[in-house]
Homo-oligomer: A and B are copies of this chain.
Amino acid sequence: LRTGVPEVVFGSGKSEAQLERAVQGLADQGASVLVTKLSPGQGEALHALFPEGKVHPQAGLFTLGADLSLTPPWPEQGEALVLSAGASDLPVALEAYATAQYFGLTAGLVSDVGVAGLHRLLPHLQACDQARVLIVVAGMEGALPSVVAGLTDKPVIAVPTSVGYGVSFQGVTALLGMLSSCAPGVAVVNIDNGFGAAAMARKLCHLKP
């Protein structure tokens, strides 16, 4: 693996024919397959083409030859622990959670621990300390990564989401907030880029000791 990360198909905007070719190509090499950012229609089309595969509609994912479980209750700890601020951030959190598993990491997922209700976050701090890397997903003001990074010594990969309205500006406000964070040990990926956070987590967890 030149880049240290297995190939993943980016589904958004691809035609049915393009998706089929990409999935078949990887399957022909004997690889398992993960496709991200699928619309419901694309998911159904892939399922019709590859009935042995599995669609995860809420997360916009399709998998073939990879056995990922996305249904709750999710394990609340793991090497890569995903923390998600609000219910609407869940699709992106699930993309990160599933991709981390696909990359061979043990992963956990804790949802609905946004900064406006800190009492929901505190019981999970111990799991944070046992993780190797935290993926923190948040929309709107995107403050959760700052708060988490101030409470733990683990590296935080921050994922802004396009959740919100008005001045949330499709995730730009959350992104800028995360980059401006005054807590040390936070680095940021593109808006809604759960995949990218998991790829970074994979590279981190494979660091030579």
- Asked if A180 meets B204 with Cβ closer than 8 Å, knowing A3-B150, A118-B150, the reply is no
Q: How distant is the Cα of A177 from the Cα of B188 in the complex, in angstroms?
A: 13
Q: How distant is the Cα of A109 from the Cα of B22 in the complex, in angstroms?
A: 21
A155 CB contact (under 8 Å) in B116, B183, B192, B203: B203
* Count of identical protomers in the assembly: 8
Q: At the interface, yes or no: A98 with Cβ under 8 Å from chain B?
A: no
Q: At the interface, yes or no: A178 with Cβ under 8 Å from chain B?
A: yes
Beta-carbon contacts of A146-165 to B below 8 Å, as 1s and 0s? 11011111110100101111
Q: At the interface, yes or no: A96 with Cβ under 8 Å from chain B?
A: no
Tell me which residues across on chain B come within 8 A of A117, comparing CB atoms. Answer: 150
Q: How distant is the Cα of A43 from the Cα of B55 in the complex, in angstroms?
A: 28
Tell me which residues across on chain B come within 8 A of A2, comparing CB atoms. Answer: 150-151, 153
Tell me which residues across on chain B come within 8 A of A115, comparing CB atoms. Answer: 115, 143, 146-147, 150, 182-183
Binds B, one of A44-52, A64-72, A193-201: A193-201
- Residue tally, chain A, CB below 8 Å to B: 81
Tell me which residues across on chain B come within 8 A of A154, comparing CB atoms. Answer: 4, 203
Tell me which residues across on chain B come within 8 A of A87, comparing CB atoms. Answer: 14, 18
19 further interface pairs, Cβ-Cβ under 8 Å (given A3-B150, A118-B151)? A3-B184, A3-B185, A18-B87, A116-B146, A117-B150, A133-B207, A141-B176, A141-B182, A143-B146, A155-B203, A165-B191, A166-B191, A167-B190, A168-B180, A168-B190, A185-B200, A187-B189, A205-B207, A207-B207
Jot down 9 A-B pairs with beta carbons below 8 A, ordered by A. Answer: A2-B151, A3-B184, A5-B184, A18-B87, A115-B182, A166-B193, A168-B176, A184-B203, A186-B196
Interface set of A (CB-CB < 8 Å, partner B): 1-5, 8, 12-14, 18, 37, 85-88, 114-118, 132-133, 140-143, 146-147, 149-155, 157, 160, 162-169, 171-193, 195-197, 199-200, 202-209
